Structure 1
Amino acid sequence: MSKVSYYTPEGLKKLKDELNYLRDIERPKASQAIGEARDKGDLSENAEYDAAKEAQGMLEMKISKLEEVLSNARLIDESQLDVSKILVLSKVKIKNQTNGMIMNYTLVADGEANLAAGKISVNSPIGKGLLGKSLGDIAEIQVPNGVLKFEVLEISR
């Protein structure tokens, strides 16, 4: 059973670009490597041929996985999202109740998560804990070393 994932236009474009690169650039390179290895003689003792075939198999598996992700990808219409509570693509400002630290995050799909850019997955513990919360709510989030409490200070798009 396949899982539906939601993406921004940029995230969906990035996935499609990666798939096109693998199909149009990497697949022909893999075929060429197999052909060159085949030309070197006896295939039963040709380690280069075996390595090229294995690399091609890995590439095809990656292409297949990306095709599956894209077939289940849905584009998010930001204009239809409710700004009164935290949803996918919400930009949130939260305050850690323990140490008073204030953080800004954007909740995104798994494939677009990038902590350095302030984008966390909706499937991460913090992302799951924040979903559905409203302004002023306290989110209690179970993490490996205990429970974190975050106050929702701001929600925007």
Structure 2
Amino acid sequence: MEKIPMTISGHKALSAEYEHRTAHERRRIVEAIAEARAHGDLSENAEYSAAKEQQSLNEGRIQELESTLALADIIDVSRLGGKSVKFGATVTYIDEDTEEEKTYQVVGDPEADASAGRISISSPIARAMIGKEEGDSFEVSAPGGARSYEIIKVKYL
């Protein structure tokens, strides 16, 4: 299997979620199942069904986190540098049509969250930026047609 690139902070966040789900959520769900069982007939017990569904979802997420953490290739962004965009770069760019400015950090798939300013390295916009430098333009195909952007700043934190 391929390694999954990840920042140190992304790895810490996933590890914390794993710890929370295994140490706290599992116990809470087991207690909820036991309490629902105590209410009697399980065939018509909505609390029991809901708790079992929560257990299934939690266990599925735990397995997903285990797999992701096992394949993690942790990259220390503070040791990276340069003028071109690569994994870990924080890029400020401007939409050449609307003059709208945005700043995102290029991170691994599991830690991507555009609303928090982190885009996945495999996203179309990140793939179009890779290798570009300040002042370079790049184009991204979008549902409404191609969009052009210009990179204003590239930095590594």
Q: TM-score, normalised by structure 2?
A: 0.84
Seen in structure 2, the aligned counterparts of structure 1 residues 49 and 137 have a Cα distance that, compared at 3 Å, is: same
Aligned to 2:16: 17
Alignment size in residue pairs: 156
Runs of 4+ deviating beyond 4 Å: none
Q: Is the 8 A contact 2:83 2:154 kept in 1?
A: yes
Aligned to 1:63: 62
Q: Is the 8 A contact 2:81 2:155 kept in 1?
A: no
Aligned to 1:118: 117
Q: What secondary structure sits across from 1:89 in the alignment?
A: coil
Seen in structure 2, the aligned counterparts of structure 1 residues 95 and 47 have a Cα distance that, compared at 3 Å, is: closer
Q: What secondary structure sits across from 2:91 in the alignment?
A: strand
Aligned-pair Cα RMSD in Å = 2.2
The alpha carbon displacement at 1:13 in A equals 0.7
Q: After the TM superposition, which of the residue ranges 25-34 and 134-143 deviates more from structure 2?
A: 134-143
The letter of the residue matching 1:92 is: V
1:5 maps onto 2:8 in alignment:
no
Seen in structure 2, the aligned counterparts of structure 1 residues 137 and 35 have a Cα distance that, compared at 3 Å, is: same
Q: After the TM superposition, which of the residue ranges 9-18 and 35-44 deviates more from structure 2?
A: 35-44
Deviations 1:30-61 (A, max 9, x none): 11112122223333443432332222112111
Q: Is the 8 A contact 1:81 1:87 kept in 2?
A: no
Taking the aligned partners of 1:53 and 1:116, their CA distance within structure 2 comes to: 32
Seen in structure 2, the aligned counterparts of structure 1 residues 106 and 79 have a Cα distance that, compared at 3 Å, is: closer
Q: Is the 8 A contact 1:125 1:143 kept in 2?
A: no
The letter of the residue matching 1:106 is: Q
| Structure 2 residue ranges without an equivalent (≥5) | none
Q: TM-score, normalised by structure 1?
A: 0.84
% of aligned pairs identical?
Answer: 37
Taking the aligned partners of 1:79 and 1:45, their CA distance within structure 2 comes to: 56
